[in-house]
Chains A and B, each alone.
Chain A
Amino acid sequence: MSVTVVIPQQLRNYTAGAREVTAAGATVDDALTHLDRRFPGLRFRVVDEQNRIRQHMRIFVDGARVTEVGARVSPKGEVHIFGALTGG
């Protein structure tokens, strides 16, 4: 299953500047793990070692926010990653 992942600017140094990349998988976790093989280190910046989405990262699947990486993604769906709500 192929999904489109929208990469936030904070992570585009991993994707050589690409805003959108494709990944394979039936869940957000699958997609991130697939991406991590192509772009080593990316997943751990978004998800911690307990497989929790990091505090200031946000993930949406087809426009709806998900809070667990086990969330399913639809065929040809879109996963949108944001860096949000930190600063100062």
Chain B
Amino acid sequence: MAKAKTAKKAKTAKPARKKASRGVTLLVGTRKGAWFFSSDASRKKWRVEGPQFLGNIINHIVRDTRGGGTLLMAAKTGHLGPTIFRSTDKGKNWKEAGKPPAFHTVNGGGAPGGNGGRAVGHTFWLSPGHESEPGVWWAGTSPPGLFVSTDDGVSWESVDGFNENAMYAKWCPPDSGTPDGALLNQIVIDPRDARHMYLATSTAGVFETRDRARSWRPLNKNVEANFLPDPYPEFGQDAHFIALAPTNPDRLWQQNHCGIYRLDRPGEKWERIGNAMPKEVGDVGFTVVPHPRDDATAWVFPMDGTTVWPRTSPDGKPAVFRTRDAGQSWERQDKGFPKKQGWFTVKRQAFCGDGVKPAGLYLGTTSGEVWASTNEGGRFQQIAAHLPEIYSVVAVERL
């Protein structure tokens, strides 16, 4: 793995985003292309641009928040292999990465599959690197793989500390995974220290490194995996989504396959804060959104994990739930959503905030709707419908 030139420890944590003054752009990735929705300063009026890359499967679109402004898009099609597209002009023009994420070729290639012959099926997650490392990006793939770029997303290298780890076959067995394949679904970087990172997988839960991805260890104590004989294993959990509190990077939120958790470092034991959710709703979901300024506040979007796991809004009544006391209690927020017959599913990267005051929330549904709240979940309005299945929604300052 290439070394970053300027990795260093930062003294203080900063919020991930500053207050927007010009409105917000939502970067929406779908199963059939990409759309951008841009608001006015009030975030009440929205203008749509797109589709771009119609027919492409777009798992994630992310903007470099460190000042460079580069946009990266993780794409593939039903036929063609996966790639990364880059834009340095706010999405007007895109150019394909010269060397997309790919595992090492084994024995010259041609093997019939299995651990010896992994091939990236799709890139699922993109993250700009640490503030001190301009040009560095990280990518997570299916099958689970960690990749890094040190040239602003043009070329990508395998991160062997994870991909070639002696434990890889146990952490990421080839016969497990989501319907779209096993995932390395998130990469989170401690804003105080470029060497300190977390990642989330669908096969082995959460991992931590303190040496910039050279070595990893599971971080799953007290996290349930109710689909395994040992429901509290060292690894094997399905970590749907993790997020750091922007103003307190010692606080980790997790929406797991089995429930909602919080971990305050340097602690090691996750707390099942989803136990405080209403029993008729439960604490199954795909994602969690921390408040940009208040480390005790976060939102989740619960889904039905009963019986055969419909993964729809419980009882057909969509709602987000907010905690303002670090998960000791939750309040339902459903104004604007359908009162009944609303069978939303919101996937891992399809719920986000914007960092504006008051905080905006945005979610995209598998049925192609985009919903927005400009008052911290107090009321939602539908700003788009009839899109293809939405995979990701990322809010950035208006492009």
Contact = CB atoms under 8 A, between A and B. Distances in A.
A52 B112 CA distance: 8
A11 B103 CA distance: 23
B77 A52 contact: no
Interface stretch (B10-18, B94-102, B257-265, B330-338): B94-102
A10 B109 contact: no
A contact face: mostly helix, strand, loop, or mixed: loop
A86 B119 contact: no
B109 A84 contact: no
A56 interface: yes
Contact of B83 (A45, A84, A86, A87): A45
Given A49-B109, A52-B109, A44 B79 contact: no
Interface of A: 8, 10-11, 40-41, 44-52, 54, 56-57, 68-70, 83-84, 86-88
A44 B81 contact: yes
Given A49-B103, A52-B117, A52-B119, A83 B109 contact: no
Contacts, number: 71
Given A49-B109, A51-B105, A84 B79 contact: yes
Contact of B79 (A50, A83, A88): A83
Nearest to B112: A52
B169 interface: no
A53 to B, nearest CB: 10
Contact of B109 (A44, A50, A57, A88): A50
A88 B389 CA distance: 12
B111 to A, nearest CB: 6
A45 B103 CA distance: 15
B110 A44 contact: no
Nearest to B107: A50
